[in-house]
Amino acid sequence: MKFVKKFFKIVLIAFLAMLVAMGGLVLFMNSANGDKGDNKTVLASVDENAPKALVVYQPSISKNSDKVAKAIAQGLNEKGYEVTLNYPGKHLDTSLSEYDLVVFGSVVYAGQPAKALADYMATVKAYAPRVALFSVGGLDQSPELDALEKLVVGSSVESKTKFTTKNQDMVKEAKALGLSLASR
């Protein structure tokens, strides 16, 4: 009897610990995926007729997606683009036709793109003529990019790039992507 009681006590503690861990994971993912508000920065160009690019990205906890987004923006800017960077959310326009190029970037949890980004993209009524996508995560597989691509209506996605956090050249490659997008 004593053994049975002890057994049920252990099972109950294990169950409660699992509930707390799952609750913590859900809270963490909701917070990481949520709307982080307006964070507009502009990399200006000396040429007032410069082509315009917008980089919309979900920031991540260790700042990996920020580093990638900023490196892409820097590559574009070095090739003459005026680049606006911002987080996705209700503060952004739903018409992006004033831009020549829009780059969307996401963190990834459980194969899904950030909810704030997917929700925003679902509200966009007019995309720029050129659209590129990137994601930053720990795995090589990128179902999140396919999910984002499906949200782009009326414009075609010209590139989908997964940056993995284990890749030490991630930032260099992101800058190269920016330079290459500007040269197409």
* Interface residue with ligand FMN, options 136, 151, 174, 181 (CB under 6 A): 136
| Interface stretch with ligand FMN, choices 1-9, 11-19, 123-131, 135-143 (CB under 6 A) | 135-143
148: contact with ligand FMN by CB under 6 A: no
Nearest partner of 60 among 120, 22, 108, judged by Cα: 108
Q: Residue 104's CB: how many other CB atoms inside 10 A?
A: 30
* Interface residue with ligand FMN, options 88, 105, 113, 137 (CB under 6 A): 137
CB 134, CB 72: distance < 8 Å: yes
106: contact with ligand FMN by CB under 6 A: no
Q: Distance between CA atoms of 169 and 142, rounded to whole angstroms?
A: 18
DSSP string for residues in 63-131: SHHHHHHHHHHHHHHHTT-EEEEE--STTS-SB-TT-SEEEEEEEEETTEE-HHHHHHHHH-SB--SEE
CB 132, CB 37: distance < 8 Å: no
Residue closer to ligand FMN by CB (options 124, 148) is: 148
Residue closer to ligand FMN by CB (options 82, 144) is: 144
Residue closer to ligand FMN by CB (options 71, 107) is: 107
168: contact with ligand FMN by CB under 6 A: no
Q: Which residues, numbered 45-104, are part of the site for ligand FMN (CB under 6 A)?
A: 60-65
The CB-of-9 to ligand FMN minimum distance in angstroms stands at 30
Binding site for ligand FMN (CB under 6 A): 60-65, 107-111, 136-139, 165
